[in-house]
Structure 1
Amino acid sequence: MFAFLVRRCFQITSKVQKLTSQFPNESRNITNYHLLAHCTQRRIVTHRNIKYLQRSAPFWIQINCFHVSSQASKIKKVGEPEKRELDLIRYDFKELKNSPKPALYLGYGGLIPFVSAPLVMAITETYFPELAFAQIAYGATILSFFGGARWGFSIPESSPAKPDWLNLGNSVVPSLLAWIALLFCDNLTESAIMIIMGLGIALHYDLALLPGYPSWLRGLRTVLTVVATFSLVATLVIKNTYPEKKLVSDKK
């Protein structure tokens, strides 16, 4: 049977050669026809091979794995939240554990003068104006310190906060507010309110308007400011609740 097919192929080839020799103008068309038939046959074979590969298990495993990974990457990109500047709870407070130990100890230790004054007055159930003034004076000092820290942060050449009018001008504002608060020494309520306003403005500058404290310092500044503010509010509440008594009586 194989020999018969071989003979028939040779006979067809010889007939084609005779036809091309008799019709030279049509030889190109015949040759193109054979090339087209050959290409079509190869495409059919390739298509069959692809179908066979698609039915095989490894091919489907590769496609499925690639499909799942692409979907997973899309879901991950959509689900990742963008970091926002004032997102303190999600980012800055989590960085408090990475704060340098001296900054933590000195920062929390600096709250003792704020907390001790209303604590003593609450225990004795007496409002002492001397303790209230000492607390306000200490708050004015801390307020000036925040402004100086911002000024010093803007000076280095590598700092993200450049020494322009915005950074240096806003770093002077807390000191001015502290000075005005001390001018109202005869009215401690106004002085305490001025210090509370200054602490809030300084914190707003550091978190929103001016760049670039690290996350741990932003979180620490927020905690310190909140505690100091509530201690001053507690002093104002004690002033309106308990009787006033001076620590040192005036002797004539």
Structure 2
Amino acid sequence: MFAFLLRRCFQITSKVQKLSQFPKGSRNITSYNLLNSCLQRKFMTHQNIKYLQRSASLWTQTSCFHMSYQAFKIKKVEEPEKRELDLIRYDFRELKNSPKPALYLGYGGLIPFVSAPLIMAITETYFPELAFAQIAYGATILSFLGGARWGFSIPDSSPAKPDWLNLGNSVVPSLLAWIALLFHDNLTEAAVLIIMGLGIALHYDLALLPGYPSWFRALRTVLTVVATFSLVATMVIKNTYPVKKLVSDRK
């Protein structure tokens, strides 16, 4: 292809040279002018083609940039984040929307948990009867939480179906509460079992089984944390202050 173009160029230049050597005359001048105009036309056509090619390439690049800019501007639809264990961002915001009876009764239910270590800390004395009353109350709360999960699974419209998973896990807190009451002579082991039961019940309600509303999840978390720290405080007081019974043994 390159050799062909070279030959064509040499042929055109040789013709131009021959025409330029014609003798002077009107006919020769006219022929020379016609040839010159034809060459100029060809040259201009060639320049126009090059200009169009450059314009086409520039338009293509501009359109590609425009399309890429538009595509860059389009935002991807973000998937909603999972909210199972995101208590701080979502569920605790709904705590203020809790029904007043549930809020007052829930906080009132912490009084037996908090009052026992508070009395012993004020008197600087460990009372086994108060510690056992706190553990017995914790066992009652565990049975209540298991019953609440059982009752939540019964209605047909409930998201938690009455299958082996839901109903079986509803029984676990009650069994731990019963085992804890068997350790009435060793209250430390009993308190550890109650803390384990509270943690397992909270894990069921927050992550494992489908679900309670956000305000109840937040309320359950607050109540469980306060009850757990109350039991831990009682165990610390047992190992810190002297033991004294509220009722002396009668012979």
TM-score, normalization by structure 2 = 0.70
Matched, 1:151 2:154: no
Aligned length: 189
Which residue is 2:73 aligned to?
71
Displacement of 1:139 in angstroms is: 0.2
Give the Cα–Cα distance (whole angstroms) in 1 for the partners of residues 88 and 113 of structure 2.
Answer: 24
Query: Which SS does the other structure have where 1:85 is aligned?
Result: coil
- Structure 2: which amino acid aligns with 1:234? A
SS of residue in 2 equivalent to 1:89: coil
1:233-244 aligned within 5 A: 233-244=232-243
- Larger fraction in helix: 1
Query: The residue matched to 1:159 in structure 2 has which SS?
Result: coil
Corresponding position of 2:94: 95
Match of 2:141 in 1: 142
For 1:172 and 1:211, the matched residues in 2 are separated by 16
Which position in structure 2 is the counterpart of 1:118?
Answer: 117
Q: TM-score, normalised on structure 1? A: 0.70
Report the AA paired with residue 139 of structure 1. Answer: G
Q: How far is 1:113 from its partner?
A: 0.4
Cα deviation per residue 1:110-152 (whole Å; 9 max; x = unaligned)?
0000000000000000000000000000000000000000000
Q: Percent identity?
A: 88
Amino acid at match of 2:169: N
Partner Cα distance (1:81, 1:118) in 2 = 44
Give, in whole Å, the separation in 2 of the partners of 1:138 and 1:217: 21
Matched, 1:215 2:217: no
User: For residues 137 and 72 of structure 1, what CA distance do their matches in structure 2 show?
Assistant: 61
Measure the CA separation in 2 of the matches of 1:174 and 1:118: 23
Match of 2:23 in 1: none
Q: How far apart are 1:84 and its partner, in Å?
A: 2.6
Query: Where does residue 45 of structure 1 map in the other structure?
Result: none
Gaps of 5+ in 2: 1-65
What do the CA deviations read for 1:159-187 (whole angstroms, capped 9, x no partner)? 00000000000000000000000001011
**Residue correspondence of structure 1 range 25-44 to structure 2 within 5 A:** none
Matches within 5 A, 1:178-193: 178-193=177-192
CA distance in 2, matches of 1:246, 1:212: 44
Question: Which residue of the partner structure matches residue 36 of structure 1?
Answer: none
Cα distance between partner residues in 1 of 2:73 and 2:212: 37
Give the whole-Å Cα distance in 2 for the aligned partners of 1:232 and 1:177.
Answer: 15
In the TM superposition, residue 72 of structure 1 has moved relative to its aligned partner by 7.0
**Cα 1:122–1:86, aligned 2, differ >3 Å: closer, same or farther?**
same
Give the secondary structure class of the aligned counterpart of 1:90: coil
Counterpart residue type for residue 245 of structure 1: K
For 1:188 and 1:239, the matched residues in 2 are separated by 10
Matches within 5 A, 1:2-17: none
- Computing the radius of gyration from Cα coordinates, the structure with the larger value is 2
C-alpha displacement of 1:251: 2.0
Q: Hey, what does 1:201 align to over in structure 2?
A: 200
**What is the CA–CA distance in structure 1 between the aligned matches of 2:73 and 2:93, rounded to whole Å?**
30
Q: For residues 219 and 72 of structure 1, do their structure 2 counterparts lie closer, same or farther at Cα, with a shift above 3 Å needed?
A: farther
